[in-house]
Structure 1
Amino acid sequence: MPKKKKRARLFEAKIFAFVIALAIVGLFVYAYYDTMLLQQAEGAILDTFFRIKTGRESRAVQEGAILAHKELKLSDKILIIGIDQKTLADYGKWPFPRTRHASLINAFSRISDQSNRENALFLDIFFIDPDPITTNDAILVDSMQNSGTVFIETVLNAFGEISDNDPLKLRQKALYENYGVIRNISGSWKTLVPFYSLQPPLEPYGRAAAGYGHANFLSDADKIYRRQPLVLRQSTLIKTLRLDDLTPGYSVNDAAYERLAWQDNLGITHEIETPLSEASIKRLTERMVKEAAMRVEDSNMDGVPDDSYYVIRHFRDEFVPAITLSLALNYFHSSVDELEVVVGSHIRIPRPRVRDEETGELVPYVLQLEADEFNADGQLIKEGKRRVVPEIRIPINNQGQMLVNFMGSRSAESPDLGPQTFPVRSYSAYANRDPGLDPDSWRRTLAVRDKILMVGAFATGMAEDEKPTPLGMMYGIEMHANALNTILMDNFIIEAPEWLNLLVIALAAFLIAFISSQIAAIAAMAVLVILVVVYFFGANMLFDTSAYVLYFASPSLAAAITFISVVVYRVFTEERDKMAIRATFGKYLSPKVVEQLANDPPELGGTDKELTVFFSDIRGFTTLSENMTPQELVNHLNEYLTAMTDLALDYGGTLDKYMGDAIMCFWGAPIPQPDHAVLACKCALKQMLVLKKLNENWPEAKHIDIGIGLNSGIMTVGNMGSKMRMNYTLMGDNVNLGSRLESTNKEYGTGIIISENTYGLVKDKFIVRELDNIRVKGKNKPVVIYELVDCLESIEPPPLGVAGKKK
């Protein structure tokens, strides 16, 4: 038979599965760097981890099991003062007159024991426009100056333009002069998000405040707020240039954080690398012609443009700290000048110090790691473990963002209304307690010693200050509190580096490729599900215990896509293999056996198996051929061979070959048949009966007489031949013995002779007559031979699908 075209080794499922995995890894690498799809998926998983963690801790707190553990992750120095419904009921519609804020500040600053003062008082309130009553601004500014602890915020806008002489810029300079800007910055600072306009507080407020910071939060691609940019880039326009004025070698002062940029038709700003070269100017020109609009000038206002050109902008960048970073620096008695910012790596606060509650002196910052143990009387038995914090190292990404470690869902307005992550007190409860100017009427304390007071909206609909977070909607002031708590407690979420995430994706894809190419699809799917579930709990445990974020969605998705792809490939290749098997065996196996082979392919090649071989030959063929023309002989033989071959196939036999008028068949391969000898014997008897009926319908001159020889034993079966042409056939001494037995029929005048080997396998089911103990040509050892006479049971062909199977 023709040799089946062999598939290249590369395209075998077990090998090509890895090619599929490699392609999928490449696709995920592209998605990682060029889209936000993977980051969005991972964000959703991170939200799930947050909900699992806070849900578990919340239950544990309610049950009283690990209350101390939860408190150890929450700073007791943070107190939220919420402008809540009670406050709105007391004071009316927002915004309040600024004298209300002055009363709040005075309530905290006017205490008799100044050592009981707050560490900082942050007002998450805009002071961009003057109060309708001018004196109110003066009263509030005076309170801020007298307090010395008030921090205010500035807001940076992504769009717009501002120059050094702009009034808003002058307001911002008041903040810079009073508190400073971040100067020790390294790394790729141009990857920080640029902001081109400002909404700073009025200048008197900027000069009266103890500190400032930007209040911006930036959402992820899915509009969820998970990060706070601790450093933002505020860009001031120095001058504008004409594109055609640029020359090779033109540069800016990189050390002063200057840069060139241009805007496209959508208003998006694009950086220009300097120094310029002829090639870079040419590329810039080509791109601006396609994507940017020209500035048109009509100096004489006659409606006819006098000039038009492309605009290049020259910016100077300054780096503004987040309000939470400023509050943390103040708490640690540090300053922006001591900060070390490495964009894409970390922000370092060296040697954090806090004021000792007993002595008032500055001491190294210490964090408690384990809860203290007390007896039933409340006496301390054992102090929990603590550690000195030599530095605060805040992990940030290329945009200067810190992943906020949210500690719980939005807090209720009061403990009576529900759980609170951070303690929340009503604004009016303090603002109503301004004792006035007389020191004799001042209280000794308001129980806020060394606390960071955070004042902001805490009533639904009061302001656009509710944002979606991993734990649901949350007021802006509590988002700031979570960010500040992350820094104070040195409780940062560490994101796995890019290389590790990509490595996990690759490992997942290649592991599933290996598994799904080796075992059945159902089993591989079960393994995939188990691995994904185990990995989910492992990743969640890593986040819960070590605040380490390892990608989960991407590796799982890569594994699932790999599994589907490999299974689909296997289906197509196995279908092609089935087609090849049908083409290979369809000519000499029954259709039902071929279908079994297609569903359960055999191991092709030379193998030794116990089989039964069948030989039949026409006696007196020469005489028969002399009585017919060649065409008549062919037609007559075809009728005979068709009948005999169909019977062999009906009994589950494999047609080996035709040798002139002789037929060679065998049982037991390629599909194993435990009763191969029984099937062969029944087939031989049935052939004799069918031949008798054929002879009855033929003229006597065309009668055919045959002899059949059967032998069982170990034989070599497989594809044999040359590379150009192969046959699925048998070899071995037992094959030769079967052929010898067929020719031996002439000597004994019998129709069917079986060997002692075959007899041993069928003796309980057939009637035989022992003939002789002979030495066959080519064999030294005598063989007992038997004539097959009849069968003790039905010799009809077995039902479809059970040929060769035990009944």
Structure 2
Amino acid sequence: MLSPRNRRNIGRIIPYGVLWFIFSVIYCILEKSILGNLDHYPSTGVPYNFARNITIIPVAGLMMGMMTGILEIGYFSKWLIKKSFTRKILFKSLIYLVIVVVFLIIITVINMLYNKDNYSLENLSSPAWAFFTDYALMGIMLYIASIIVISQLYAEFSESIGTGTLRNFFLGKYYHPIEEERIFMFLDMKSSTTIAENLGHVKYFEMLREYFFDLSGSVIDYAGTIYQYAGDEMIVCWKLKDGLRKNNCIECFFAMKRSLEMQTEKYNSKFGLLPGFKAGLHYGKVVTGEIGSLKKEIIFTGDVLNTSARIQGLCNQFDVDLLVSEDLVKILDLPFAYAIRSVGENLLKGRSKSIEIFAISISAQ
């Protein structure tokens, strides 16, 4: 089975292929409307066959789109993550321009070899040169450039609001509110006020950016979704089945701990400290839906969010890093590697009934 990270990456790559495929089909239709009843391309004399083009060009577009997606997700998103939007666009546009020119040369040569029996290796350059010096090439390049820009805007927009959120907006999944069961983890940095005072606001923000970046990898690896950032707090959620599978919601917390510990040297050298965090988890029903007019968001509403936040707020009181509600502990299947200890029943603010809360830690070997 594919890991959550690989499933997520495949889900992020596919839309690029779909975008290029759709624009390739549109191009074929526009080309047909321009050429009309002509049976050849005026600039090169190469025969024109709409039935062939409507099959080959979209397939080629799909391949180009998938290649774009692989480059974006596999390489550019890592190399350029700390670069400005403008620098990303310029750098990637240059790379794509080279790829597209090479791609067009290959397609042109293949098309001529397929259609022209009288072309030899010596005179293949004639129609190719005619194509690459004709004004029609400018139109094709502008059209391809528009696809590249749209793809890059999609990439940046997707990263800004979240791939799953953008997909749900397009599909209209939550246009009408839906009730679903989810697990929420409210994760809060320890002693953030003191750290901010010691580092200064600018340096603290730089640390916060590194901190969230380093934690995000574990969220991906354990099938979670980052719902919101609120100051130094991160809210992570799972659909119930995803959070329970292999104890993802609990494993994610300890993977985050390990991820930060591996970066101890980096944090100490840059900021003089290694930030710590605490978290509270709970599950229950929420209503999910689109909200807003000037700025749309997909939000969750329900008591489970308030309860998760209140549970996290008790970590300092009990001097623990992870607290989990009784409801969630009952449906987890934790191995013996974890120690589960009740910290008693607590009446959380906003609730009429007390709830038993458990601290979870790694068992001493």
* TM, length-normalised to structure 1: 0.24
| Runs of 5+ consecutive residues of structure 2 not aligned to the other structure | 1-150
Q: 1:661 to 1:788 in 2, by over 3 A?
A: same
Aligned partner of 2:310 in structure 1 is 740
Matched, 1:774 2:346: yes
SS in structure 1 at match of 2:263: helix
Partner amino acid, structure 1, of 2:184: V
1:731 maps onto 2:301 in alignment: yes
Unaligned stretches of 5+ in structure 1? 1-577, 792-807
Cross-structure match for 2:232: 661
CA gap 1:583/1:760 in 2 versus in 1, 3 angstroms: farther
Q: What one-letter code is carried by the residue in structure 1 that aligns with 2:160?
A: K
> Contact between 1:656 and 1:664, CA under 8 Å: does it hold in 2?
yes
SS, match of residue 353 in structure 2: coil
Indicate the residue corresponding to 1:286 in structure 2. none
Distance change in 2, residues 1:757/1:692 (3 Å): same
Aligned to 2:263: 694
- Report the CA distance shift for 1:696/1:583 in structure 2 as closer, same or farther (over 3 A): closer
Q: Distance in 1 between matches of 2:266 and 2:295?
A: 39
Change (3 A) 1:725 1:602: closer
User: Which residue does 1:714 correspond to in 2?
Assistant: 285
Could you tell me how far 1:632 is from its partner in structure 2? 1.4
Equivalent position amino acid for 2:342 in 1 = E
- Distance, in Å, in 2 between the alignment partners of 1:594 and 1:656 is 9
- d(CA) in 2 for partners of 1:772, 1:660: 30
**1:585: Cα distance to partner?**
5.2
SS at match of 2:341: strand
Could you say which residue in structure 1 is the equivalent of 2:160? 587
For residue 625 of structure 1, report the CA deviation from its aligned partner.
Answer: 1.1
Structure 2 partner of 1:618: 189
Match of 2:247 in 1: 678
1:752 Cα shift?
Answer: 0.8
Distance 1:781 1:582 in 2: 46
Residues in 2 aligned to 1:780 and 1:686: alpha-carbon distance in whole angstroms: 34
Task: Give the Cα–Cα distance (whole angstroms) in 1 for the partners of residues 234 and 243 of structure 2.
Answer: 23
Would you say the 8 A contact 2:182–2:284 is kept in 1? Answer: yes
- Compared CA separation, residues 681 and 674, structure 1 to 2 (3 A): closer
Which string of whole-angstrom CA distances, capped at 9 and with x for unpartnered residues, describes residues 425-446 of structure 1?
Answer: xxxxxxxxxxxxxxxxxxxxxx
Judged with a 3 Å threshold, the aligned counterparts in structure 2 of structure 1 residues 674 and 751 are, in CA distance, closer, same or farther, namely closer
The structure number with the bigger radius of gyration is: 1
TM-score for the superposition, normalised by structure 2: 0.50
Q: CA deviation at 1:750?
A: 0.4
Paired residue for 1:109? none
Deviation (angstroms), 1:663? 0.6
Answering whether residue 317 of structure 2 is matched by residue 763 of structure 1, we say no
CA 719–790 in structure 1, closer or farther in 2 if over 3 Å, else same: farther
- Pick closer, same or farther for the CA change 1:628–1:701 going to 2, 3 Å: same
1-structure distance, mates of 2:153, 2:286: 25
1:742-761 CA-partner distances (Å, limit 9, x unpaired): 11101011001111121122
How far apart, CA to CA, are the structure 2 residues paired with 1:582 and 1:667? 23
Q: Give the partner amino acid of 1:783.
A: I
Map of 1:802 onto structure 2: none
Which one-letter code corresponds to 1:655 in the other structure? I
Aligned residue number for residue 362 of structure 2: 790
Contact preservation (8 Å) 2:247, 2:333: no
The structural deviation recorded for 1:622 is 1.4
Query: Can you list the C-alpha shifts for 1:259-316, whole angstroms capped at 9, x where unaligned?
Result: xxxxxxxxxxxxxxxxxxxxxxxxxxxxxxxxxxxxxxxxxxxxxxxxxxxxxxxxxx
- TM-superposed deviation, 1:776: 0.9
The structure in which a higher percent of residues are strand is 1
User: Could you list the per-position Cα deviations for residues 716-769 of structure 1 after superposition, in whole angstroms to 9, with x for gaps in the alignment?
Assistant: 22223x211122222111111111111110101100111112112213445422
Change (3 A) 1:674 1:619: closer
Per-residue Cα deviation, 1:398-418 (whole angstroms, up to 9, x for no partner): xxxxxxxxxxxxxxxxxxxxx
Name the aligned partner's letter for residue 198 of structure 2. Answer: N
Tell me if the contact between 1:611 and 1:677 (Cα under 8 Å) persists in the aligned partners: no
Superposed displacement of residue 674, structure 1: 6.7
Superposition deviation, residue 785 in structure 1: 0.8
Q: 1:631 to 1:674 in 2, by over 3 A?
A: closer
* Conserved? CA contact 2:247–2:334, under 8 Å: no
Letter in 2 for 1:649: I
CA distance, structure 2, for counterparts of residue 631 and residue 662 of structure 1: 18
1:694 Cα shift? 2.9
3-state SS of 1:673 partner:
helix
Structure 1 contact 608–716 (Cα < 8 Å) conserved = yes
- Matching residue's letter, 2:230: M
Over 3 Å counting, the alpha-carbon distance change for 1:677 and 1:622 in structure 2 is farther
What is the Cα deviation at residue 652 of structure 1?
Answer: 1.8
Cα distance in 1, alignment partners of residues 205 and 281 from structure 2? 26
- Give 1:582 shift: 7.1
Structure 1 segment 79-118 matched on structure 2, within 5 A: none
User: Aligned with 1:633: secondary structure?
Assistant: helix
Q: Please show how residues 624-639 of structure 1 align to structure 2 within 5 Å.
A: 624-639=195-210
Contact 1:753 1:788 in 2 (8 A): yes
Q: Structure 1 residues 636, 762: CA separation in 2 closer, same or farther (over 3 Å shift)? A: same
Q: Which residue matches 1:41?
A: none
Displacement of 1:649 in angstroms is 2.5
* Aligned-pair identity (%): 17
Counterparts in 2 of 1:712 and 1:679: CA distance versus 1, 3 Å: same
Tell me, what secondary structure is at the counterpart of 1:675? helix
How far residue 580 of structure 1 moved from its aligned partner, in angstroms, is: 10
Provide the secondary structure at the position in 2 that maps to 1:758. helix
Q: 1:695 to 1:645 in 2, by over 3 A?
A: same
**3-state secondary structure, aligned to 1:734:** helix
- 1:662 to partner: Cα distance: 0.6
C-alpha separation between the residues in 2 aligned to 1:581 and 1:714?
A: 32
* Structure 1 SS opposite 2:242: coil
Q: 1:230-280 CA distances to partner (integer Å, 9 max, x unpaired)? A: xxxxxxxxxxxxxxxxxxxxxxxxxxxxxxxxxxxxxxxxxxxxxxxxxxx
Q: Quick check: which one's helix share is greater?
A: 2
Tell me the SS of whatever aligns to 1:604.
coil
Deviation at 1:628, TM superposition (A): 1.3
Alignment of 1:49-448 (within 5 A): none
Residue 678 of structure 1 contacts residue 761 of structure 1 at CA under 8 Å; is this kept in 2?
no
Maintained 8 Å contact 2:188/2:233: yes
Relative to structure 1, the CA distance from residue 735 to residue 750 in structure 2 (aligned partners, 3 Å threshold; closer, same or farther) is same
Does the residue aligned with 2:199 lie in a helix, a strand or coil?
A: coil
User: For 2:219, which of 634, 645, 648 is the aligned residue?
Assistant: 648
681 and 668 in structure 1: CA distance in 2 versus 1, 3 angstrom threshold: same
Q: Distance in 1 between matches of 2:340 and 2:152?
A: 42
1:614 deviates by 1.1
Residues 522-562 of structure 1, C-alpha deviations (whole Å, 9 max, x = no match): xxxxxxxxxxxxxxxxxxxxxxxxxxxxxxxxxxxxxxxxx
Q: Tell whether the 8 Å contact from 2:189 to 2:278 is kept in structure 1 after alignment.
A: yes
Say whether the 8 Å CA contact 2:286–2:303 is kept in structure 1: yes
Describe the SS at the equivalent of 1:750: coil
Q: 1:753 aligns with which of 302, 323, 328?
A: 323
CA contact (8 A) 1:745 1:751 kept: yes
Moved more, 699-708 or 766-775: 699-708
CA contact (8 A) 1:653 1:680 kept: yes
Paired residue secondary structure (1:638) = helix
Determine the C-alpha separation between the residues in 2 that align with 1:581 and 1:757. Answer: 39
